[in-house]
């Protein structure tokens, strides 16, 4: 079927849907836009699917949601007894999230698979928790995480509470591709409830137990109870799903002085108070929080993204200026706090383990090593950290302590299998309380860690390559780098090349396995423990460069990072 035939087919198939038809007719004659919407189908993978909202095969809409859901139902029904356990469905504050979640539930019901639908928006970690808590066969959450407002997405979780792996994603994709959009019916909502297939769930079924379990993650609850009321915190949910659980958790652990940014308190899929995206990595998302924090005399600011799986933190430096901590810095502060405190209390296990993604800072390796804890590395994607947690529990060889990704994802529990902004908020609050008890700030703690282990700088450069041409360009860049790997970058010798697609590590002419699943990632180890990684995004039309440098002091580490960034960007040309 040609692009124009696909376009005409949608006009015919969905003639009864006035909104879809209006959207399609609005692009009539716009060849570039029609091509972008119909040259391919929205891809489905381990991260589910994510795209710009709109009508068309390559857009996020209810028909792609229904089709993906039928694929999930048909996959689960290969084991009918297992499918009876049902699917839990959550959604965030984005435009059409509630509608997509309802469609997901009613397609499942139509296929005979029970659906547990939350009564209002919930964070990703609550969905992950609920899958295990309710002994469900799978979970779905409607979210596009921290993407701009025009996006939405669909993520699938396995029975273990982690995002599905490549085998399940491939099996679902095969079913989805063989399914016609018009063959995905929804059951009547009242009929689904009457049949016992649709269950609406609320606080009593999941949330109360989740918050109770989150509170058990406090390492020094007595200290927190004493110092908590003295803490002065500002929190912003950035119009997302973190507002209720984060504030409830903070209150219940004794932090009574936590002001919320009122302009960003209520759910709003248009995210009117941020310039680009509701992303706690971006300074502009903190502008209102900075203002409120100065008015309140706060010492620390928390921000969670719309689905509350990521946490951003701002602290005041020695000059009284607000500084955003990077995801790597937050991860290292939390890792150091957990390990050092447990060591002091005598509760750090001899077989402790931590997990990070390959693109996260090497500083964490040094911290873990200093406490006798084994650091494991995984591909990017928190599902791989979730898999490690399960492996540790199955084998008993290691005891999980902490996992993180540089992209502001953190986890210290084993009852959630994805990054958890509520969990992370508790930990950061506890570290802030511990610092307060010592008469120092969180910023001071970061500097102490650098002074002890060396100064590390990590930067991520994103090169956007949109549309059909962009996909081809990304493939061309990656194949070119494989055929002609650099011998050095910014004067630093490339000491090893990790090609995760081939599954090889090439060093001094010798080739060894990476030990990780295949992924289109190239990683260049450099002299002095520096490194650069090139990775096409799995959810956005861009290539990401991860540039990591270290030195004895800040100025030298930043200067080296700048040189490496320039050299790395040249690679992509």
Residues annotated catalytic, as ranges = 145
Q: Which positions ≥6 away from 79 have C-beta within 8 Å?
A: none
How are beta strands 352-357 and 399-405 bridged, if at all? parallel
HEC assignment per residue over 193-217:
HHCCCEEEECHHHHHHHHHHHHHCC
Q: Is 188 in a helix, a strand, or coil?
A: coil
Q: Which helix (H) or strand (E) holds 10?
A: helix 3-13
Distance separating alpha carbons of residues 509 and 323, to the nearest angstrom? 44
CA distances from 272 to 100, 142, 283 (A): 22, 20, 16
Nearest to 527 by CA among 570, 563, 479: 563
Distance separating alpha carbons of residues 410 and 327, to the nearest angstrom? 9
Cα within 13 Å of Cα(440), Cβ side: 11
Q: Which two tokens stand for residue 428?
A: 């950061």
Q: Which positions ≥6 away from 199 have C-beta within 8 Å?
A: 86, 114, 115, 116, 117, 193
Q: Which positions ≥6 away from 348 have C-beta within 8 Å?
A: 339, 342, 371, 372, 373, 401
Evaluate whether 298 touches 281 at the Cβ level (below 8 Å).
no
Evaluate whether 385 touches 391 at the Cβ level (below 8 Å).
no
Q: Which helix (H) or strand (E) holds 178?
A: none
Evaluate whether 551 touches 568 at the Cβ level (below 8 Å).
no
Q: What share of the chain is helix, strand, coil (3-state, %, to 5)?
A: 45, 20, 35
Q: Which two tokens stand for residue 27?
A: 């692009």
Nearest to 179 by CA among 100, 83, 96, 72: 72
CA distances from 367 to 118, 217, 373, 424, 550 (A): 40, 20, 9, 19, 14
Q: Which positions ≥6 away from 395 have C-beta within 8 Å?
A: none
208-215 and 243-252 helices, crossing angle to 10°: 50
CA distances from 362 to 10, 323, 398, 489 (A): 49, 22, 21, 18
């Amino acid at each position: 079927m040609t692009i124009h035939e696909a376009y005409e087919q949608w006009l015919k198939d969905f003639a009864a849907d006035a909104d879809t038809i209006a959207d399609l007719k609005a692009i009539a004659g716009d060849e570039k836009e029609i091509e972008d919407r119909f040259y391919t189908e929205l891809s489905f993978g381990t991260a589910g699917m994510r795209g710009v909202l709109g009508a068309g095969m390559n857009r996020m809409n209810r028909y792609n949601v229904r089709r993906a859901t039928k694929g999930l139902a048909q996959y689960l029904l290969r084991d009918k007894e297992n499918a009876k356990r049902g699917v839990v469905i959550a959604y965030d504050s984005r435009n059409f999230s509630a509608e997509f979640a309802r469609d997901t539930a009613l397609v499942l019901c139509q296929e005979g698979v029970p659906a547990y639908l939350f009564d209002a928006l919930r964070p990703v970690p609550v969905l992950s928790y609920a899958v295990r808590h309710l002994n469900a066969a799978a979970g779905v959450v409607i979210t596009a995480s921290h993407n701009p407002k025009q996006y939405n997405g669909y993520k699938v979780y396995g029975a273990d509470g982690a995002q599905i792996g490549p085998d399940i994603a491939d099996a679902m994709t095969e079913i989805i591709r063989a399914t016609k959009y018009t063959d995905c019916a929804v059951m009547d909502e009242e009929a689904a409830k009457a049949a016992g297939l649709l269950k609406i769930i609320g606080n009593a079924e999941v949330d109360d137990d989740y918050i109770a379990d989150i509170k058990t993650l406090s390492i020094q609850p007595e200290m927190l109870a004493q110092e908590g009321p003295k803490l002065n915190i500002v929190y912003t949910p950035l119009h997302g799903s973190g507002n209720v659980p984060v504030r409830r958790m903070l209150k219940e652990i004794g932090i009574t002085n936590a002001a919320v940014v009122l302009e960003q308190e209520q759910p709003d899929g248009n995210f009117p108070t941020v310039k680009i995206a509701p992303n706690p990595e971006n300074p502009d998302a903190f502008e209102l929080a900075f203002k409120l924090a100065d008015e309140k005399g706060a010492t620390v600011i928390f921000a969670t993204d719309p689905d509350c799986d990521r946490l951003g933190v701002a602290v005041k430096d020695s000059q009284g200026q607000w500084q955003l901590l990077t995801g790597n810095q937050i991860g290292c502060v939390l890792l150091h706090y957990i390990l050092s405190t447990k060591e002091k209390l005598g509760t750090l296990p001899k077989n402790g383990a931590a997990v990070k993604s390959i693109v996260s800072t090497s500083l964490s390796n040094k911290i873990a090593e200093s406490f006798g804890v084994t650091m494991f590395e995984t591909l990017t994607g928190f599902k791989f950290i979730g898999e490690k947690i399960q492996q540790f529990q199955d084998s008993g060889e290691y005891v999980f302590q902490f996992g993180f990704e540089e992209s502001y994802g953190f986890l210290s529990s084993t009852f959630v299998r994805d990054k958890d902004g509520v969990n992370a908020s508790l930990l950061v609050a506890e570290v802030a309380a511990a610092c307060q008890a010592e008469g120092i700030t969180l910023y001071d703690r970061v500097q102490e860690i650098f002074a002890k282990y060396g100064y590390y700088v990590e930067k991520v450069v994103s090169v956007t390559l949109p549309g059909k041409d962009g996909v081809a360009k990304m493939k061309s860049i990656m194949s070119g780098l494989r055929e002609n790997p650099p011998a050095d970058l910014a004067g630093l010798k490339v000491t090893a090349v990790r090609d995760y697609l081939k599954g090889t590590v090439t060093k001094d002419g010798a080739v060894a396995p990476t030990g990780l699943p295949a992924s289109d990632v190239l990683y260049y180890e450099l002299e002095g423990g520096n490194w650069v990684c090139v990775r096409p995004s799995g959810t956005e039309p861009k290539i990401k460069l991860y540039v990591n440098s270290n030195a004895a002091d800040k100025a030298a580490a930043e200067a080296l990072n700048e040189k490496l960034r320039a050299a790395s960007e040249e690679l992509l040309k």
